[in-house]
Structure 1
């Protein structure tokens, strides 16, 4: 079988698509290291597909018939992370009413994927290093080492080398992990992959929802390459699905792409020279949340009700702040002075409503909002929803 044909089959099997040189190199690296038991460090921005690469390594390894356990280190509170990873003995701490196995024991014989390892506390890093060196864990409150046969794949969207320099990540653990490092470049640095990814996402979406779709025009695909995609592949997938839904399966032209992505108005004018609008990670995450309104199938009525509730809440608050002699319902004139609902308030309400939709399940909520669980936990704390 020719090498190119094999790589195409490999992409289809592993779900890692693209025609760029970096994608070809990553696939070659996966092929070489998958059959070994070496630890692997995957680095790249959020949304670039680090978990897809981890899954690909596992699927090509001799451990593929054993569990692949994924752990988001940034989503688990520091106080219970050690117990989650290594387990605990009965009575080892308040609430430990029974013995419990951790993720490492659950992954015995298979692979454990430690996502966002840069968020792992330093004291837990020490114990992880010991596991890598001895293949033994110690449950919280336990006294007997337990042998485990687990391959460790770690991932981070942080610059771990810089974190080491800032004493935020252990140097010995970093060098133990970085022997095999796979760097996934952001989508803006491999834009030739965009048409391939768009076709794949569109095909999957229309097949899953059994809808007809005429496709993207060549000009629309070119327009997509002009955008920097701060949310990377995750944002592109969300855009494709939303575009198909809003355009009712009709062909998507460049005019739609340029309008939605604001490609013709990427500079803000002030009294000075035009200044490029560079989005921060928080701004990019917020934009992703808003775009999921369609994927959550919120119709116009629901949106009106949500905004109406926010406005009513603000009016009630202002009413209580006014002197008792002025507690009557605000007049139309006064109501015009009420400040519009803030974007933060809308974001809080969206997160709250999404949590309600999934009965408080934070993993499903984060997935629906297209943000990481760590970001969701931070926003829950920020908005007093935790």
Structure 2
């Protein structure tokens, strides 16, 4: 078996965290077998390296390796992408098409964001796992394939099963061996090493001196929550490398560069180690906390105004009414408590604007899948 340092060097994996090494060692251990593997980890942690390592160290390494992002393929076409289709199977099917499972025969197929698969597609995938058989869309002829499946997800699969969004039998078929990839905030000792590596890389790419952080700035990024994980850290290093004239980055500049949408610190992480699928709501709720504190202060002030009364309007907003002789109005709406949905809309719009409407980048920053973001954009008419 190859040494773990050789694997890190081959796949350009940076870090010496114990949990990272454990995940890599497990991938190396199961690679020579035919076991189906499920990789668990938040968006942006580098889950895609695990199936590459498994394929490289397996007897299938001389055959095809195909990576499929299940969350980025529209629901109406995903069966065709995975299993292929016959000519005339649907509008636009002008010819026969091979699917990924046919193309990857004898090789490895990586199903990223497998938790986003529609239930009908899950049934087809289960059959492939059980018998190696599938049907092309629009065909009644059984096809055979011999592929090894490595799947990955950033969602809580057990919760999805409880909500009938994911099949329990498929989950246990996929999860013969589970490999957990740690979040960046759990690899505190690796953050500085990663940032320096990215800084050096972008210095060479853009032909300029590498940036470096002052001690306080380095301490700040080591204690930051990093909801976008390594991907977000890499983007930060690239942004600073390109736009900063001063090559030593100060604490104030780092605070300006990191989104205020994620004001987490090491202390808050210790108290609340949020799962990725809940990150967006927690970010919104965290933002709401300041509003609630302001509301509490306002309520305390209102308690001392005689003749006031409170009621709830149709939207669930709190209305405070005062006698006309106090405020020279018959009815005044002092404040409304903004709904969680409105906060979510503002949050999504803000991230989309910051990324010039690029949904893939925005979804990564929000900690949700591209399909989920597309659904919310459609739902809210953004």
Query: TM-score with structure 1 length normalisation?
Result: 0.70
**What runs of 5+ residues in structure 1 fail to find an aligned partner?**
268-275, 287-341, 356-364
Question: Is the Cα–Cα contact under 8 Å of residues 16 and 53 in structure 1 kept in the other structure?
Answer: no
- The DSSP-based 3-state class of the residue aligned with 2:28 is helix
Q: Would the alpha carbon gap of residues 46 and 59 (structure 1) be closer, same or farther in structure 2, given more than 3 Å must change?
A: same
Pairs within 5 Å for 1:1-386: 6-248=3-245, 250-261=247-258, 266=263, 281-282=279-280, 366=360, 372-375=369-372, 377-378=374-375, 380-382=377-379
Structure 2 Cα separation of the partners of residues 285 and 88 of structure 1: 42
Structure 1, residues 312-353: CA drift from partner, whole Å, max 9, x if none?
Answer: xxxxxxxxxxxxxxxxxxxxxxxxxxxxxx8866666666x5
**What runs of 5+ residues in structure 2 fail to find an aligned partner?**
265-271, 285-345
- The DSSP-based 3-state class of the residue aligned with 1:94 is coil
Structure 2 Cα separation of the partners of residues 350 and 256 of structure 1: 18
- The DSSP-based 3-state class of the residue aligned with 1:92 is coil
Could you tell me how far 1:209 is from its partner in structure 2? 1.8
**Equivalent pairs, count:** 307
- The DSSP-based 3-state class of the residue aligned with 1:50 is coil
Could you tell me how far 1:380 is from its partner in structure 2? 5.0
Question: Is the Cα–Cα contact under 8 Å of residues 82 and 124 in structure 1 kept in the other structure?
Answer: yes
Structure 2 Cα separation of the partners of residues 354 and 147 of structure 1: 41
Structure 1 Cα separation of the partners of residues 72 and 35 of structure 2: 26
Q: Would the alpha carbon gap of residues 179 and 375 (structure 1) be closer, same or farther in structure 2, given more than 3 Å must change?
A: same
Structure 1 Cα separation of the partners of residues 347 and 40 of structure 2: 32
Query: TM-score with structure 2 length normalisation?
Result: 0.71
Q: Would the alpha carbon gap of residues 367 and 285 (structure 1) be closer, same or farther in structure 2, given more than 3 Å must change?
A: farther
